[in-house]
A and B are shown apart, each in its own frame.
Chain A
Amino acid sequence: MIRDDAFEQTFTEVLEEILGWDLELTDDDSPKTVEGWDSLAQIRLVNELETRFGVRLPDEALLEEQSVGSLKALVLEHAG
Chain B
Amino acid sequence: MRDDSADEAGEAGEAGEAGERRLTFTRDDLERFAAAGGDRNPLHLDAGFARRTPFGAPVVHGALLAIGMLGAIPPEQLAQIGTVRVWFAAPLMVGDAASVSVSPSRWGAGAWEVRLTGRGRALARLLAAPAGAEPAPQAVPAAAILTHPMRSAPAEPEPAELTPGATSGGAYATRSDELQQLAAALGAGRLDPALLEGLAWASYVVGMELPGLHSLFSAVTLNALAPGAAGALAPGAAGAPAARHVLSVRDHDPRTGRLLIDGTLFDAAGDPRASAVIECFTRAPALAPDPRLLAAGAEPAADPGAVLVVGGSRGFGAALSLALLARGYTVHVAYSGSPESAAELTRLAGAGSIRLELHRLDAADPVALTALGEALGGAGAPLKGLVLNAALPPLPMGVTANSGAELADYVARSLTLAAVPLGAMLPLLGPGSWVVCSSSSALTAPPRDWPHYVSAKGALEGLAGWLAAAAPGIATVILRPPAMRTEMTNTPTGRIAAAPVETIAARLADQLARGELPAGLTVLEPDAIVVAGR
In the complex, A73 has a CB within 8 A of chain B = no
Q: How near does chain A come to B408, taking the closest CB pair, in angstroms?
A: 23
- The residue that B496 contacts in the complex, of A22, A31, A38, A59, with Cβ under 8 A, is A59
Chain B interface SS verdict (over half): loop
Q: Hey, which chain B residues are within 8 Å of A40, CB to CB?
A: 87, 89, 218, 492
Q: How many A-B residue pairs have CB under 8 A?
A: 44
In the complex, A14 has a CB within 8 A of chain B = no
Instruction: State which residues 106-158 of B face A: CB under 8 Å.
Output: 106-107, 122, 125
- The residue that B493 contacts in the complex, of A31, A35, A39, with Cβ under 8 A, is A39
Known contacts: A31-B448, A36-B125. The answer to whether A51 contacts B251 by CB under 8 A is: yes
- Pairwise interchain contact A63-B492, C-beta atoms closer than 8 A: no
In the complex, B268 has a CB within 8 A of chain A = no
Instruction: Give the complex CA separation of A39 and B87 in angstroms.
Output: 12
Contact with B along A4-42 (1 / 0, CB 8 A): 000000000000000001100000000100011011101
Most chain A beta-carbon contacts within 10 A, residue among B90, B107, B256: B256
Known contacts: A31-B448, A36-B125. The answer to whether A43 contacts B258 by CB under 8 A is: yes
Q: Hey, which chain B residues are within 8 Å of A21, CB to CB?
A: 106-107
Size category, B interface: 20 to 34
Instruction: Give the complex CA separation of A63 and B491 in angstroms.
Output: 12
- Pairwise interchain contact A62-B493, C-beta atoms closer than 8 A: yes
Contact with B along A39-55 (1 / 0, CB 8 A): 11011100100010000
Instruction: Give the complex CA separation of A36 and B279 in angstroms.
Output: 17
Known contacts: A31-B448, A47-B253. The answer to whether A63 contacts B496 by CB under 8 A is: yes
Q: How near does chain B come to A18, taking the closest CB pair, in angstroms?
A: 9
- Pairwise interchain contact A36-B493, C-beta atoms closer than 8 A: no
- The residue that A62 contacts in the complex, of B90, B125, B449, B496, with Cβ under 8 A, is B496
- Pairwise interchain contact A42-B493, C-beta atoms closer than 8 A: yes
- CB closest chain-A residue, reference B218: A40
In the complex, B531 has a CB within 8 A of chain A = no
- CB closest chain-B residue, reference A39: B493
- Pairwise interchain contact A59-B497, C-beta atoms closer than 8 A: yes
- Pairwise interchain contact A22-B493, C-beta atoms closer than 8 A: no
Q: How near does chain A come to B254, taking the closest CB pair, in angstroms?
A: 12
- Pairwise interchain contact B497-A63, C-beta atoms closer than 8 A: yes
Instruction: Give the complex CA separation of A47 and B492 in angstroms.
Output: 13
- Pairwise interchain contact A43-B496, C-beta atoms closer than 8 A: no
**What 17 additional pairs, Cβ within 8 angstroms, besides A44-B279, A47-B253?**
A31-B448, A36-B89, A38-B90, A38-B122, A38-B396, A39-B449, A40-B218, A43-B492, A43-B493, A44-B258, A47-B258, A51-B251, A59-B497, A62-B255, A62-B493, A62-B496, A63-B497
Q: Can you name 19 A-B pairs with beta carbons within 8 Å?
A: A36-B89, A36-B122, A38-B122, A38-B449, A39-B449, A39-B491, A39-B492, A39-B493, A40-B492, A43-B253, A43-B258, A44-B258, A44-B279, A47-B258, A51-B251, A59-B255, A62-B493, A63-B493, A63-B496
Q: Which 3 A-B pairs have the closest CB atoms?
A: A39-B493, A43-B256, A38-B89
